[in-house]
Amino acid sequence: MLMIWPPYRRRVLAEADEYIESFGQRAHEQCRTDGREAMLRGDHRRARFLGEVRAILRKKLLRDDYLDTATRYLEPRSTSVTQAPYDHGPGYFTHRPKDLTLH
């Protein structure tokens, strides 16, 4: 097994890099979809291989899949960019001034 691992590891890393080049930030989702399709076809070897590729993609894309959804919403990531609130423009009121009536 020790003789097989380094070439296999290089193949996993190369496949992860190829997914990132092809799909960018969606690489993890696409790899998961491809793994599910391989499992449905009965190609368990390919599904296991793509599972290892997904593990590498999680590390490279800084995904925290071990966190539950509520924690992920509460704790902002240090690498994320905060988005400015959307400006609706002058014709859209988000609140009513005190001196404005509806009639």
In the chain, how many domains are there?
Answer: 1
Q: What is the mean pLDDT of residues 26-43?
A: 94
State which residues form the domain around 44. Answer: 5-64
Residue 33 is assigned to a structural domain of this protein: yes
Q: Is residue 30 part of a domain?
A: yes
Distance CA 90, CA 50 (A): 50
Q: What is the pLDDT of residues 57-87, one digit of tens each?
A: 988 887 766 666 666 566 665 555 566 666 6
Q: Tens of pLDDT along 85-103? A: 666 666 666 666 677 776 6
Sign of CA dihedral 55, 59, 64, 66: positive
Q: What is the mean pLDDT of residues 3-8?
A: 74
Burial class (CB in 10 A: 0-12, 13-18, 19+), 42: exposed
Question: Residue 52: which of 86, 91, 83, 11 has the closest Cα?
Answer: 11
Residue 72, domain member (yes or no): no
For residues 92 and 48, what is the distance between their CA atoms, to the nearest angstrom? 52
Is 91 within the bounds of a domain? no
**Residue 60 belongs to some domain of the structure:** yes
Would 59 be classed as within a structural domain? yes
Quick one: pLDDT at residue 94?
62
Side-chain half-sphere CA neighbours of 94 within 13 A: 6
Whole-number average pLDDT of the chain: 79
